[in-house]
Amino acid sequence: MLDFYKDFFRKFYKVTGGFIPVRPLEESIYPGDFFQIVNGEMVLLGNIFRNRLIHEDDVEFSIGAKLSPVAWNFSDGVSKPYAARSKGNAALDGEFEYSRQILTFDGQGSYIFKCIAPESVRIANWTQLEKQLIIKLTHTYYSFREVYVVTESASASSWSLAISDAEKGELEIATSKENENLVDLFGDPSSKTILARDIACNHHDQSGSPCFFKAKKLVVRDSVQEVFICDLIREKSHKQQWALQFYNYERYAQAASTRVHVPAHAHASLLDMMPQNQLNANNALDYFAWADANTDDIERLFVNYGTS
């Protein structure tokens, strides 16, 4: 995935109240799906209901919740310099009228998103399921140390997205349907693309598939991280003195330093450093918790996308 998608993803998350588009956009995603993000790619691995981690009688759903149409229609860096009714001629039908519009994109990453009738399906009793899911996902069914679980997915009767990949992108669209609102042809299901210049994405979907989601991610509890960081600082503070004595190399004495650097993501190594069998099904809840997927996770979708 190229970086010019990133601004759209961030804005989408912000204005829709935490929803994230699925990648790739053609994928469907449902409540209960669990996945990992690997090299910028969402890897769907299963579903907590289909894989029988949670029985269907134990879950409650909020189905068909209406979402704000205002929040689900937005753009950035897009203008509409031309819109008009025009006439054409067809060999069999003769003269006909059609509506035509041109959209211009101010820069790379400029976008426009239109959505009709967004609705969602949500796990309504997540708090009753979250603890048992930690135990089942980390021990009794699987051995995950990093995983996301979809708690809500959204769909629409139709939606459209266009993103420019150059400084001056242009999109020309038209429809034969009579449309009094000539300034808003983009996203109309009857509209067709006549010309797309320097447009990286021109996606239209009328399938009703759930393509947007909210998720919880498995995280290590803050209290556990704090203990680990303290132990790491203590270990690193004695490293230079140990190296000097162990290797008996005079130059190492010159490298001795009292400064201790702790990497920003030191907590990522926490579980790998645990003694064998210290973490088990009985104490998993002491180590793990759930947190909302957020913009940090959107950033992960743009790291080495599509590479091995």
pLDDT band per the 50, 70, 90 thresholds, residue 224: confident
Give the C-alpha distances (Å, rounded to integers) separating 220 from 61, 186, 276: 27, 44, 17
What are the φ and ψ backbone dihedral angles of 99, each rounded to 5 degrees? -95, 140
Q: How does pLDDT run across 182-215, given as a tens digit for each residue?
A: 557 888 888 889 999 999 999 999 999 999 999 9
Q: E strands, the chain, where? A: 20-21, 33-38, 41-47, 61-66, 74-76, 78-90, 94-105, 111-116, 119-123, 148-155, 158-164, 169-175, 192-197, 199-205, 212-220, 288-292
pLDDT above 50 (res 87): yes
Query: What integer pLDDT is reported at residue 244 of this predicted model?
Result: 78
Q: How far apart are CA 84 and CA 98, in angstroms?
A: 9
- 273 versus 122: the higher-pLDDT residue is 122
Query: What integer pLDDT is reported at residue 176 of this predicted model?
Result: 75
Q: How far apart are CA 171 and CA 193, in angstroms?
A: 7
Query: What integer pLDDT is reported at residue 64 of this predicted model?
Result: 97
Residue 169 and residue 104 in contact, taking contact as beta carbons nearer than 8 Å = yes
Query: What pTM was computed for the model?
Result: 0.84
Q: How far apart are CA 166 and CA 200, in angstroms?
A: 8
Across 9-25, average pLDDT: 96
Task: Give me the residue label for tokens 């519009």.
Answer: 101
- 89 versus 161: the higher-pLDDT residue is 161
Across 18-26, average pLDDT: 93
